[in-house]
Structure 1
Amino acid sequence: MNIFSKISFLVFSEILFIGFNTTTAQEKKHFKKQPNIVLIFADDLGWTDVSTGNTNGNRGSKLYKTPEIDKLASQGMSFTNAYTNQNCAPSRASLISGQYPTGIDNQVFNVGSLSRQDKRTKGFPDLPIKPFHQQKVISEDGVNIFDVLKTKGYQTALVGKSHGTPHPLKGDYGIDLPADIHHIIPAPVNGKRVKSFYLALNSDKKGWTFNSEYVDKYADPYDQEYIDNKLKPYKSQSDQSLLLDTPKHLTDAIGDFSVDYIKEKANNEKPFFLYVPFNAVHSKVTGRKDLTKKYLKNGLNVRFAEYASMIELLDQNVGKINRALKDPNGDGDFSDDISNNTIFIFYSDNGGLLGNKPLIGKKGNLTEGGIRVPLIFRYPNVIAENTVTNQAVHCIDFLPTLADFAGVDISKLKKIDGSQPQYDGVSFASILTGKKNYLSRTNLYWHLPGYMDERFSPSTVIQKRFGDDYYKLFYFYESEEFTMYHLNKDLSEENNLLENPTSKEMRIALSMNSDMLAWLKANNAPTGTWIKNGEKVPHPLVDSVKKYKN
């Protein structure tokens, strides 16, 4: 099945920006030529793990160094309220599908399953709720972000972690080049099965390998030529001579693949969409030797030195990819610069694991530390430089936003069965272009009908904007209880407003609960069943928040 049979309605003429597309006629002058798109999706990089002050207000990291990401922030727009789902697979699934996990073509709520043992009760079957049985990957029948862009002639590529789609990629997911690498790469080396998390393996049969037919060409150990030509611009006070003849790091290999892809496609008449979901900085964290040594010398313990090394290595590869856009053929002559016609995006799939203060929680939690992440967009002459927005956006919004810039009217698309795909996201192109400060959409949702160890139990969360203020309401199905927080004043989610709500706070809670219930019903959101009697766990009642009223 190819893309032209999968999507029965293709748009070949210029498309009016209607439906989900919010671009005005004045904005359309920027879209004379479809932009290339490079989307970098870091893995487990927390909101406070980058040093740029723009991304996190004034909370940029003083410990980790990310000069290339900082530069990107100075050249584009940073989002202080950018969100994802709580861990890897559901974030990728939502980004690619444009749907919440409740969407018909998604159904990916958690990594693996919703039955991950809970330490409170030593696992199943002692928990009160039998979880919903989720899908592990998005449906092939959906019209995903790759499919959408291909209707306007985009060449598409994925290199990195495809979590949320099949491993390796199967069928037609709209990707021209399925360069699929996994975080944990099991490989038989000299007759023994080992696990390599980030460093290339040496096999008698394959030579140096990452177990990827697309990236293995970059798996050879570091040599002097590579250090001089690829790494020297990012020396960063590390002793790069320590790398000679040591195994190649997967992060560098993914960066090298991306550079060569840009070089190959730069002069092509067709625009390209390069999706680079790096495996960094996911555990087990393994930094690059020269950078780890630098941080150890600076006094960090081994754990944090490896993590700082990993973050800086990711940053260097952001710089490497950015440099390729400025000089695709690498000859030092910038006459082939394509950066002005490229949307360059830096994003992360969920919160970090090693501390996210002032946010509470970590990857796997629905508190801000698990779902609030860095996000930067650059598009020269379209997105103003060094700007910051507090508009809340989510990975479901990327599909309609990029469709807007590419000139695709997603309301005209059809699935293979003739039905119209339903997207949960909205375009935030008008925020990026400075035409609006806020979207008309005020609510974001998270819904988890199951368990992930101690980090979450069956719950639904709504975030709602009232003017400039963001509030967040949690509902916990086991106890049928709510908590609510005013994020503008309480990023750490320490002050549960429902413990002693004012009349205003009670009105806000009732409004949010009403919206939550309407959304749950509209999406037929699953809740699991009670172990004690096999009955379906009910959604919250419209007025169930009233029990907190004094």
Structure 2
Amino acid sequence: MTKAKYLVLILISIFSFSGYSQSQHASKPNIVFILADDLGWTDVSTGNTNFNNGSKIFQTPEIDKLASQGMSFTNAYTNQNCAPTRAALISGQYATGSDNGVYNVGSLKRQDKRTKGFPNVLIEPHEQQKVISEDGFNIFDMLKTQGYQTALIGKSHGTPHPLRGDYGIDLPADIHNEIAATVNGEKTKSYYLALHSDGNGWTFGSDYFDKYAHPYNQKYIDENLSPYKKNSNQSVLVGTPKHLTDAIGDFSVDYIKEKANTEKPFFLYVPFHAVHSDVVGRKDLTEKYLKRGLSEKQAEYASLIELLDQNVGKISNALKDPNGDGDFSDDITNNTLFIFYSDNGGLVDNVPLKGKKGSLDEGGIRVPLIFRFPNVIKKNSVSNQAVHCIDFLPTLADFAGVDIASLQKANGEKGIYDGASFAHILKGKQKRIERDNLFWHLPGYMDERFSPTTLIQKRIGNAYYKLFYFYETEEFALYNLKKDLGEKDNLLEKPTSKNMKVALKMNADMLAWLKANMAPTGTFIKNGNTVPYPKADAVSKYKQ
């Protein structure tokens, strides 16, 4: 057991011994954190999160309402795909952190479909961890020091499957990417729809979720889907298999019913599988979009986005009336911090952004982010501050009253967290956080979408710049996102003196970060030597 985990257990024990009163709970908000999967920056119809580039095709009225009720971030960042984002979010650390180590989904040696292997690569990738450290200090541990009840309902990628061990999660309701069951004597898989198993009846392949697996009936539609009936012909659902997205939403609503207005606050983390491929929408919504002239593929995608949106609304509405009796006297909305975020950029069209999920271009790492906390966070507000998944741990610590700086100091090891709190921005007390730099480091390969790369993003005045370093070619690329959101103009192709100055400073900061974090780079295949970091004067080769 690490010193950090030991310290957390001591603090939890002290907290439990001293008792926990309802008055203490009143000053510590419940926290509901919804994480979409592969939802792109322009996949929502609100313009608050994307400089008014909201979708004209996909409909997300519940997410739009959430944006009108809280603060949206136009420059919210993740890692390039799901596991490293979730690992960083939960650990509060970059992949280089002592408790993280998750750089990519699966491995850093993902086959390139174009070449059917790695025939010409120069670098043997770093061998990464697949999950965060069980003994590390994480977001659940942090909140438990303040008496929070904790739950994960959905996809746990970046932590063990199924969740085992001491991660500080009271209810680890994990469900895999694929639902598997024996149907008519054969092993059958489904990505989103419940299956009828020969031995177990209707199932999602999970003891936690199977009670939500029964097909849609009129009673369920009337009680759960009727607030959204104007959007589709819901009668076509009767008798059809239950969608996993609805099941995760139902489970979350039941959790809120159980935990609302109890003596202890709760942290409900809901990582949905939607809108990850293989995309399967809900029948009524898919038919709606087909009738509007979308192709079958587009209709399924639009259907799944709207289904996710409905479940965001379902969970939000449960806060207003936790016991579902129509009496709002038990409303806990005003004492609940509600967060909506995505784990990486979209897998399809992210225009005006360049790239998609799996890349370090803006389309791969820039996502929607919304916070709502009535009477604390200003309604319909927008921040352009760049924030990252590593920032949630210290930000939620501020809202929960955790003196995380003292925890880090007492730990005495290599940092509990790497992120910066943006709580003061949410509360309207600041416009910016002090940090200027964000980093991404990928010491390996993922099909055609990335090769060994380090990226630094830097705020200079009111502009954000990105500097890439590509280890195979020892080349750099520099972009000014304020003027070039689509990353079309590499400023090092014909650099001005100003751009050279920016690039030199960013390279120096990148090199300092790599060294301070002992970031791995892999080894050269030809001789086994460690791949070096960029040289301090490497940018100087670009002529003005």
> Could you tell me the TM-score, scaled by structure 1's length?
0.94
Q: CA deviation at 1:100?
A: 0.5
For the pair 1:328 / 2:322, whether they are aligned, the reply is yes
Question: For 1:183-222, what aligned pairs fall within 5 Å after superposition?
Answer: 183-222=177-216
Distance change in 2, residues 1:482/1:33 (3 Å): same
CA distance in 2, matches of 1:362, 1:184: 23
Question: What letter is aligned with 1:85?
Answer: N
CA distance in 2, matches of 1:293, 1:396: 39
CA distance in 1, matches of 2:415, 2:462: 32
SS in 2 for 1:10: helix
For the pair 1:83 / 2:84, whether they are aligned, the reply is no
Q: CA deviation at 1:125?
A: 5.1
Deviation string for 1:424-460 (max 9, x for gaps)?
1010001101111111101000000000000000000
CA distance in 2, matches of 1:215, 1:235: 25
For the pair 1:504 / 2:498, whether they are aligned, the reply is yes
Residues paired across the two proteins, number: 535
Instruction: Name 1:22's counterpart in structure 2.
Output: none
Match of 1:538 among 529, 532, 535: 532
Question: What letter is aligned with 1:530?
Answer: F
SS in 2 for 1:229: helix
SS in 1 for 2:136: coil
Question: For 1:462-473, what aligned pairs fall within 5 Å after superposition?
Answer: 462-473=456-467
Instruction: Name 1:305's counterpart in structure 2.
Output: 299
Instruction: Name 1:10's counterpart in structure 2.
Output: 11
Deviation string for 1:341-362 (max 9, x for gaps)?
0000000000011200000110
Match of 2:231 among 234, 237, 241: 237
Contact 1:411/1:420, CA 8 A, preserved across alignment: no
Distance change in 2, residues 1:120/1:526 (3 Å): farther
Instruction: Name 1:25's counterpart in structure 2.
Output: none
SS in 1 for 2:11: coil
SS in 1 for 2:140: helix
Deviation string for 1:146-172 (max 9, x for gaps)?
000001000000011000000000111
Deviation string for 1:48-85 (max 9, x for gaps)?
00000111121111100000000000000000000000
CA distance in 2, matches of 1:497, 1:451: 25
CA distance in 2, matches of 1:507, 1:416: 39
Q: CA deviation at 1:214?
A: 1.2
Instruction: Name stretches of at least 5 consecutive residues in structure 1 with no aligned partner.
Output: 14-29
Q: CA deviation at 1:7?
A: 2.2
Contact 1:136/1:164, CA 8 A, preserved across alignment: yes
Deviation string for 1:528-548 (max 9, x for gaps)?
000011000000011100111
SS in 1 for 2:520: coil
Q: CA deviation at 1:414?
A: 7.0
Which shows bigger deviation, 119-128 or 522-531?
119-128
Q: CA deviation at 1:31?
A: 9.4
SS in 2 for 1:499: coil
Contact 1:141/1:416, CA 8 A, preserved across alignment: no
Instruction: Name 1:513's counterpart in structure 2.
Output: 507
For the pair 1:423 / 2:424, whether they are aligned, the reply is no
Question: What letter is aligned with 1:261?
Answer: Y
For the pair 1:437 / 2:438, whether they are aligned, the reply is no
CA distance in 1, matches of 2:5, 2:360: 39
Deviation string for 1:453-501 (max 9, x for gaps)?
0000000000000111000000000000000100011111000000001
Contact 1:448/1:460, CA 8 A, preserved across alignment: yes
SS in 1 for 2:32: strand
Instruction: Name 2:273's counterpart in structure 1.
Output: 279
Measured on the aligned residues, the alpha-carbon RMSD in Å equals 2.0
Instruction: Name 2:165's counterpart in structure 1.
Output: 171
Instruction: Name 1:404's counterpart in structure 2.
Output: 398
CA distance in 1, matches of 2:65, 2:438: 30
Instruction: Name 1:260's counterpart in structure 2.
Output: 254
Contact 1:5/1:416, CA 8 A, preserved across alignment: no
Q: CA deviation at 1:190?
A: 3.5
Match of 1:291 among 258, 282, 285: 285
For the pair 1:549 / 2:537, whether they are aligned, the reply is no
Q: CA deviation at 1:412?
A: 3.0
Question: What letter is aligned with 2:364?
Answer: G
Q: CA deviation at 1:124?
A: 2.7
Q: CA deviation at 1:326?
A: 0.5
Contact 1:352/1:369, CA 8 A, preserved across alignment: yes
CA distance in 2, matches of 1:189, 1:343: 42
CA distance in 2, matches of 1:194, 1:119: 26
SS in 2 for 1:208: strand
Deviation string for 1:356-382 (max 9, x for gaps)?
000011000100000000000000111
Instruction: Name 2:20's counterpart in structure 1.
Output: none
CA distance in 2, matches of 1:157, 1:31: 17
Contact 2:26/2:335, CA 8 A, preserved across alignment: no
Question: For 1:21-32, what aligned pairs fall within 5 Å after superposition?
Answer: none
Deviation string for 1:18-69 (max 9, x for gaps)?
xxxxxxxxxxxx9961000000000000000000011112111110000000
Instruction: Name 2:19's counterpart in structure 1.
Output: none
Q: CA deviation at 1:134?
A: 0.3
CA distance in 2, matches of 1:539, 1:419: 25
CA distance in 1, matches of 2:355, 2:260: 42
Contact 2:46/2:67, CA 8 A, preserved across alignment: yes
CA distance in 2, matches of 1:187, 1:127: 40
Q: CA deviation at 1:331?
A: 1.0
For the pair 1:43 / 2:44, whether they are aligned, the reply is no
Q: CA deviation at 1:421?
A: 4.5
Instruction: Name 2:346's counterpart in structure 1.
Output: 352
Question: What letter is aligned with 2:298?
Answer: F
Q: CA deviation at 1:194?
A: 1.3
CA distance in 1, matches of 2:9, 2:172: 23
Contact 1:142/1:415, CA 8 A, preserved across alignment: no
CA distance in 2, matches of 1:31, 1:214: 28
Contact 1:49/1:60, CA 8 A, preserved across alignment: yes
Instruction: Name 1:395's counterpart in structure 2.
Output: 389
SS in 2 for 1:385: coil
CA distance in 2, matches of 1:418, 1:429: 25
Q: CA deviation at 1:188?
A: 2.5
Q: CA deviation at 1:211?
A: 1.1
CA distance in 2, matches of 1:31, 1:436: 26
Instruction: Name 2:67's counterpart in structure 1.
Output: 73
CA distance in 1, matches of 2:6, 2:468: 43
Question: What letter is aligned with 1:264?
Answer: E
Match of 1:413 among 403, 407, 413: 407
Instruction: Name 1:478's counterpart in structure 2.
Output: 472
CA distance in 1, matches of 2:411, 2:436: 32
Instruction: Name 1:21's counterpart in structure 2.
Output: none
Q: CA deviation at 1:420?
A: 6.8
CA distance in 1, matches of 2:89, 2:488: 30
Distance change in 2, residues 1:170/1:6 (3 Å): farther
> Could you tell me the TM-score, scaled by structure 2's length?
0.95
Distance change in 2, residues 1:489/1:31 (3 Å): farther
CA distance in 2, matches of 1:384, 1:175: 31
For the pair 1:115 / 2:115, whether they are aligned, the reply is no
Contact 1:9/1:413, CA 8 A, preserved across alignment: no
